[in-house]
Chain A
Amino acid sequence: MPADAATALKEKFPQATARPSVDHPAFNVPIADVPAVLAFLRDELAFELLMDVTAIDNGEHSSPRFTVVYHVLSVTHPGAYLRIAADCANDAEPTAPSVVALWAGANWHEREVYDMFGIKFTGHPDLRRILMWDGYPYHPLRKEFPLAGIETDLPVEDIAEETGTKVIAAPMQGGPFVASPGEINLTEAEPRAKDETWSDRRAKPGHSELRQVKE
């Protein structure tokens, strides 16, 4: 049955194209068809469990920039997985159709993707941030967001006013060493912190900038 699942899906949705994958059968589908494809998988091919909804940021200047990825697992045919991926059409303001109507559990997964990538799910009943606080201005898993973080105001206004502090970027000098993927220049090859705040080449900011205690 799982072996036929791929062919059945191809028959029903000829627009689905195979996606390269190391382990499970995977398909790229147009983003508008995602709810129909997943409903077909759940009702006709017995993939009852939506395991995971996530997204990939393909890089700041690439197009399509965001890919939404779904993993489904079958309980009837144990151990059969399927991966469905769909590219978001709009790079600046990505949207995707919500599948909460099919699986109530998609609610939190989609909230997390919205929180981390800024992909808005149309038809989601309650699209709020889930891991970061409400009103956080960035989407942390986008590739342009630095590892150290960006300085922002505290979430609670009166505490911010009272203390005069901010959420500051993590000082990464001496922190976890960050590897450079792929081709490296040997002068850069020493393990070093990929530093957004200070390093041996950029001066350490003064103490006053880090801790702005109101006099």
Chain B
Amino acid sequence: MSTGFAYPDHEARAAEAAEAARARAAGETPEFETEKMSLNMGPSHPSTHGVFRLQMELDGETLTKADPVIGYLHRGDEKIAENMTYNQFVPYTDRLDYLAPLANNMAYAIAVEKLAGLTVPPRCQAIRVITAELARISSHLMGLGAFGLDVGAWTVLVWCLNEREKLYRLFEELTGARFTTSYTRIGGVTRDVPPDWLGHVNTFCDEFLPMLEETLAMLTRNKIFMDRTVDVGVISKADALAYGLTGPNLRGSGVALDLRKDKPYSGYENYEFDVPVGSKGDCYDRYLVRGEEMRQSARIIKQAVAKFPGGAWFAEDAKKIFNPPKDKVLTSMEELIQHFMLVTEGPQMPAGEVYFEAENPKGILGFYIVSKGGGVPYRLKIRSPSFCNLSIIPKVSVGCLISDVVAILGSFDFVMGECDR
């Protein structure tokens, strides 16, 4: 994935920085005295992508210290989860990574299904795979557009948003909502795919791929873009593992960990796709990985549509979890009682502990559920990828220029809703 050539100015800049670092370490007096300045970036700043604050200590234009401050969007999702039934928590998962709600729904649903011992039929799995990959494309488009905007490419953002609009139309057709879908249920999905929807998805993929190539072509060999991203924010393999980076950020550093391949869930083992891996671990690699992942997602979607299975779209034994149909509730005693118990006590789960991780667009999203029986989780921990990805910022950004920090933050593609939970 290397670019094949290096710019001389990058080498010169690296040499300068190394020389300055050596001089500082040796205690030599510089030509003129500089003064440290502290600067707040955020909590509301266009390039922090949410309410994220970076307390920086600057020496001239170079960072000497960075301290991220998070928690501005902390809503206490884990506390809320301990006080409501398993079914009621599904809409809350939409609000974690709000750029890919369908993927979050799926991760949560599979975690609870593992606890309940449910297996969902192939049709439901295929629906989930299609929606999760559409969500991945949608999230990466936003990440790419915002990254482009951070380094000055306005057109990329507009084109990406244009593509996302088509995706939102697909989501609306399927789930009834554009943004907060809450489509996946424990043990199945809300409703079957509407007629024609798969055709629309196929059409979208066919139109999207050329458009994606054109969008990426605007950045991939762009002199300005490469100057801003190549050799900026390099994360070594060892660092990426030590800090627990996941998703495109980890793969950009050259670790080929993708749970869709390594620990397949929801029938991912039935599809052919490649896992892109970066070589250097700089911002440019992370960008390339995301671009390639979108192509692979489109490939998965096309395969899933081609071999879309028939059958039921919810698990047979999900009757203990799903609300019965409304007309039955209003006319028959059995269903009325079941509905009442579901609403008041929630779906009854066995006691036990479950940890499930799904490969989300931002990284690996994990749900750790401790159940003591009954319809309410005793403890629910959300392992959020953005949280772990951000923890490396103090290490990566020290020694960079302020403008590099903007590129680094853009290349991480984090979402504060998920980071703060």
Contact = CB atoms under 8 A, between A and B. Distances in A.
A108 B83 CA distance: 26
B137 to A, nearest CB: 24
A27 interface: no
Contacts of A19: 353
B166 interface: no
A179 B85 contact: yes
B373 A22 contact: no
Nearest to A143: B82
Nearest to A77: B262
Interface string A20-44: 1111101000000000000000000
A180 B375 CA distance: 8
B83 A194 contact: yes
B368 A130 contact: no
In this complex, the interface size class of chain B, counting residues with CB under 8 Å from chain A, is 35 or more
Contacts of A71: 355, 366, 368, 383
Nearest to A116: B78
Contact of B383 (A51, A131, A184): A51
A182 interface: yes
Nearest to A111: B391
Interface residues of A, number: 51
A145 B354 CA distance: 25
Q: Which of A71, A81, A180, A181 has the most CB of B within 10 A?
A: A181
Interface in B314-364: 340, 343-346, 352-357, 364
Contacts of B85: 179
Contact of B368 (A48, A54, A177, A184): A54
Contacts of B246: 49
A132 B75 CA distance: 10
Contact of A22 (B78, B255, B354): B354
Interface in A126-172: 130-133, 140-141, 145, 147
Given A49-B241, A179-B345, A132 B74 contact: yes
A147 B344 contact: no
B242 interface: yes
A69 B368 contact: yes
Contact of B374 (A83, A103, A182): A182
Contacts of A194: 83
Contacts of B368: 52, 54, 69, 71
Nearest to A188: B344
A50 B71 CA distance: 22
Given A49-B244, A54-B381, A176 B71 contact: no
Interface of B: 70-71, 74, 76, 78-80, 83-85, 88, 114-115, 239, 241-246, 255, 257, 259, 261-263, 340, 343-346, 352-357, 364, 366, 368, 370, 372-376, 378-379, 381, 383, 387-388, 390-392, 395, 420-421
24 contacts: A21-B354, A22-B115, A24-B355, A49-B244, A52-B355, A52-B383, A56-B378, A71-B368, A71-B383, A81-B355, A83-B353, A104-B243, A104-B395, A108-B388, A112-B387, A133-B71, A176-B84, A177-B84, A179-B84, A179-B375, A181-B346, A181-B375, A181-B376, A190-B344
Given A131-B74, A179-B344, A182-B374, 19 more contacts: A26-B353, A49-B241, A52-B383, A54-B368, A78-B257, A79-B262, A83-B353, A103-B242, A104-B242, A108-B390, A109-B388, A131-B420, A133-B71, A178-B83, A179-B85, A179-B345, A181-B345, A190-B344, A191-B343
